[in-house]
Amino acid sequence: MAGQPIFFSGQGFSLLRDKNRFVLPSALRSTVRESSGKDVLCLAKFPEWKCLVGFGLSRVAEFEDELDREQARADAAGRPFNRVKKAMALYTFQQVPFDGSGRFVLPEGLARLANVEDQLYFQGVGQFITIWNPEELYKMADDPELEGAIEICRSAAEAELVKAKKK
């Protein structure tokens, strides 16, 4: 549906697999594919948390409107706004291809920014996906708004680790 907003919902978990690849969960894969028009996930560092943010290429078309809104809010509040700095944050993302099964290689620089090791937790949150090293998410246990995500992550991690041991 052209022109319809894209929203990400659902969760998933992936262990690092052969050839240094993770798997984009099927619950999110088709929405990324729809948003990008191809098998490409855009990844960047989340500005406030030690995690990554993922989205499809269609989101890039919204960046200038987002910058305009932030500029207008800053102007109305009499606050300074550095448009170039904010644009740099928005446009500093990498296009990461994935195959038909969702397998992708996480660029090393992004992995370092989010402290990623051998596990990823994916959480759809509307306009984008947050992607976590589970240990970084667990550190936020004092935030009651993240309690559900933390418990879903723990359960998914346990299930995947049990499956991996059976192999």
**Domain annotation covers residue 6:** no
Q: What CATH number did the domain enclosing 120 receive?
A: 3.40.1550.20
- Asked if 42 and 95 count as a contact pair (C-beta separation under 8 A), the reply is yes
Give me the tens of pLDDT residue by residue for the chain, a chain 167 residues long. Answer: 345 778 999 999 999 999 999 999 999 999 999 999 999 999 999 989 999 999 999 999 899 999 999 999 999 999 999 999 999 988 999 999 999 999 999 999 999 999 999 999 999 999 999 999 999 999 999 999 999 999 999 999 999 999 888 87
**Domain annotation covers residue 53:** yes
Please state whether the predicted TM-score (pTM) of the whole model is above 0.75. Answer: yes
Taking 3-state DSSP, the helix, strand and coil percentages for the chain, each rounded to the nearest 5, stand at 45, 20, 30
**Domain annotation covers residue 73:** no
**Domain annotation covers residue 76:** no
- Domain tally, the chain: 1
Residue range(s) defining the domain that contains residue 137: 11-60+86-166
**Domain annotation covers residue 142:** yes
Q: What backbone phi and psi angles, to 5 degrees, belong to 114?
A: -105, 10
**Domain annotation covers residue 1:** no
Report helix, strand or coil for 96. strand
**Cα–Cα distance for residue pair 99/122, rounded to 1 Å:** 17
**Domain annotation covers residue 120:** yes
